[in-house]
Amino acid sequence: MPKHRRSEIEPSRVSVRTPANRTEFWPEAVGYGQAAGAFGPPGVHGGFGHQGNGYRGPAGYTDDAAEPGWQIAPEGQSWQDWEHWQDWGPPPELHPDHPSAPVPRVQFATDHPSGPMPASRTSGPPGVPRWWPDEPARTRNAPPPSPDAGHDNGNRWLYAVPDDASYPDHAAPREVSLSQEQRGFRWQETTDYRRGGNPPGLDRGPAPGRFQDGAPPSRDSLWTAGQVLTLAESRAAQIAQQAQDYAAEIREAAQREAAAITQQATGHAATTREAAERQAAEIREAAEREAGELRARLDSMTGELGRVAAYVAENLAAPPMPATAPALPGAALAPPGTRPARPATTPTKPDTGPAKPITKPTKPDTGPARPAKPGTTATKKPQKPGRQQQAMRIAQYSTAALVSFALVFGAAEIGIHGLKFFVFREQGQGQSTDGPTDQQFLARQAAATHHAAAPKGRHHKQSDHLEVHH
């Protein structure tokens, strides 16, 4: 799991750092009986690189000169064959959390706030791993607060505890050497498996020592192992530093390259923008020029048309038409846009509309260069009736024809039968409940007319007087 994904809420460093069992406390090859097999005085360290002889050294680790004072173990000789190992004392105490460790598994100091444990550890050498009351609680990933708080080798935490009670300051880092080990330092080591280690550069250098009194000299092997781990850490830190340097170089080169590309792109964009602006300006100028020409031409045509219309109107209004039409005042053209002079008399409407220009002005290609509306109204084009108006006219004429048809027929009936019959209403029609019918009315009317027109016997010829009976 990446380091940054860890939960912030984690068990305290104490519980985490405390090894779960003895195998954590001691590496596999450093068991109970073989605990210090790989550690010890000069010669023990030579187990590196030999199969089955304690700690395995890195490949190619044969040069004893790399670490003076150490000699390589003879081939085929185990570390148990050495005589010194039996002088190393009893095997190290089990870690309190080890399943086989005696209860209680955690031993508090006497001055611990929790007080002494009810049952003290009875077996094992002094200097068993204990809880350090002065150690602050830390998170899992936090580096040690002080150099003496422990050394992180990537997998576990090593504490060097000075045996000397008069050790003044536990926080002071201290270079632990072999001579110190021989002076009777005792080691206490707690391991802490970590899924991710601190940056290598944080805990560079030898592990700070913290000693407790009463440690046998045989525990120096642990110190040696710590030294080995410290050296490995140093190497790892060096490699990490090299990698960091290399990464920094690559990053700088990439940044330089990116800056160059950015600069180049910026320059290119500026060049392109300038070219585009220049081109746009040229197009705009050309369009404006063309529009101006078209506008001037249109204005001149408009003015000319206005003058022609005024001339025609004036001549039509004049009573005698001259035999020869005067030439158009082409030489004295008024400036375009001026309104033609209105004739004194109202001109009669010519049969034909004002002359249209022969060539229509070409529409400019560019949009904004729209020709301005001419200021003169003399050349107003007579509007052709639209289709809707035409349809309306048809409807109007049809309606008028229909109504006229009815009116003509009505007038004819009035002419034939007279107004009396026109306003007459026969019986049964509307409010007329009684009275003559149309036929009776017409018969009476005809009879009356006939009676009025009939001759009066022999005296008819004697007199021109016509008696009319109503």
Partner 1 sequence: MTTTRGYDRDFYPRDSPDTWPGKQQPADDYKPPADGYGYQPRRSKRVDEWMEVEFKFGGSRIKRKALALVLLGGPAVVPLFFCLPALFTLDYNTFSVAVDDVLGTGAELCLFFCLLVTPMVTLTGQRWFVPLRRWYGIMMACCGIGDAIAAGATDTFSGGFFAKLTEHTFTLVGLIMVMLVIPLLVTGNNWAQRKLGRYWKVLHRLIYVIWGLLAIHLLTLFGFQPDVQVGGAGDGDIAFHQRFYQYSACSIFLLTLRLPPVKRWIAARQKEGRNWLVFLTIAPIFALFVFGMTFLINEEIFKGLDMFNNTPSAE
| Positions in the binding site for partner 1 (CB under 8 A) | 387-389, 391-392, 395-396, 398-399, 402-403, 405-407, 409-410, 412-413, 417, 421-426, 428-431, 433, 437-439, 442
CB-CB contact of 187 with 157 (8 Å): no
Q: Which of 436, 271, 303 is nearest to 376 (CA)?
A: 303
CB closer to partner 1 out of 32 and 405? 405
CB-CB contact of 186 with 163 (8 Å): yes
The distance of closest approach from Cβ of residue 447 to partner 1 in the complex, given in angstroms and rounded to an integer, is: 15
The distance of closest approach from Cβ of residue 452 to partner 1 in the complex, given in angstroms and rounded to an integer, is: 21
The distance of closest approach from Cβ of residue 356 to partner 1 in the complex, given in angstroms and rounded to an integer, is: 28
CB closer to partner 1 out of 65 and 416? 416
**What tokens appear for 421 in the block?**
């019959």
Beta bridge partners of 158: 151, 189
Burial class (CB in 10 A: 0-12, 13-18, 19+), 55: buried
**What tokens appear for 181 in the block?**
């080990």
Is the peptide bond preceding residue 104 cis, with omega within 30 degrees of 0?
A: yes
CB closer to partner 1 out of 345 and 389? 389
CB closer to partner 1 out of 328 and 395? 395
The distance of closest approach from Cβ of residue 450 to partner 1 in the complex, given in angstroms and rounded to an integer, is: 17
The distance of closest approach from Cβ of residue 416 to partner 1 in the complex, given in angstroms and rounded to an integer, is: 8
CB closer to partner 1 out of 26 and 424? 424
**What tokens appear for 141 in the block?**
């990933």
CB closer to partner 1 out of 80 and 429? 429
CA dihedral over 127, 131, 137, 140, signed as positive or negative: positive
The distance of closest approach from Cβ of residue 412 to partner 1 in the complex, given in angstroms and rounded to an integer, is: 7
Helix, strand, coil percent values for the chain (each to nearest 5) = 40, 0, 55
CB-CB contact of 422 with 413 (8 Å): yes
